[in-house]
Amino acid sequence: MFLTNLGARDRTLFERWTLTPSARRARILWTILTNFGGATFTILATIVPLFLGAEVGIVARQALLTLAVSHVIVQIIKRTVGRPRPSRGLSGAALVAEPDRFSFPSGHAAAAMSVAFVYASAYPSLAVPLVLFAGAVGISRVFLGVHYPGDVLIGQLIAVLTGLFALHT
């Protein structure tokens, strides 16, 4: 029921927001941005700071825990729900490679927000740019045609809830 209601709204927003294949410049910029939610960047953003010192090392461990736990949660939900990606259900193709066939929730959005949320919590002066950047990574997934807006929103919510757990352990 939840996904059915979400689906109708998601399809409408998706069709409004998705880039056309001819939007080359925008596609390049959104593709660069979307990579900041990928495994390489998010893992490096949590592992490299482990070696930089005591305080940032503690925060990096919390970010790594948030990233790992949110990833597991996202993958369990993806395989349980099995919502197909927009490119498989609507006309049009994704403008970037799809990491798997499942759309709900967005792993890239969850990963970017997992890292951003924990660092933002530890360094409040960086909170706004970090969270806005992670939000933009999520939006890039819609513009590039690989996720519906609801996939991104739920992925980011999973990240924040996981981050709250990690910050209190």
Give the integer Cα–Cα distance in Å for 44 and 119. Answer: 14
Residues 6+ apart with CB under 8 A from 75: 107
Whole-number pLDDT of residue 108: 95
Full-model pTM: 0.86
pLDDT in tens, 79-110: 999 888 887 765 566 777 777 788 899 999 99
pLDDT at 28: 84
What is the Cα–Cα distance from 106 to 88, expressed in whole angstroms? 16
Question: Residue 6 — pLDDT band, cuts 50, 70, 90?
Answer: low
Confidence of residue 2 (pLDDT cuts 50, 70, 90): low
Q: Would you state the pLDDT for residue 91? A: 55
- The domain ranges of the chain are 37-167
Mean pLDDT over all residues of the chain? Answer: 87
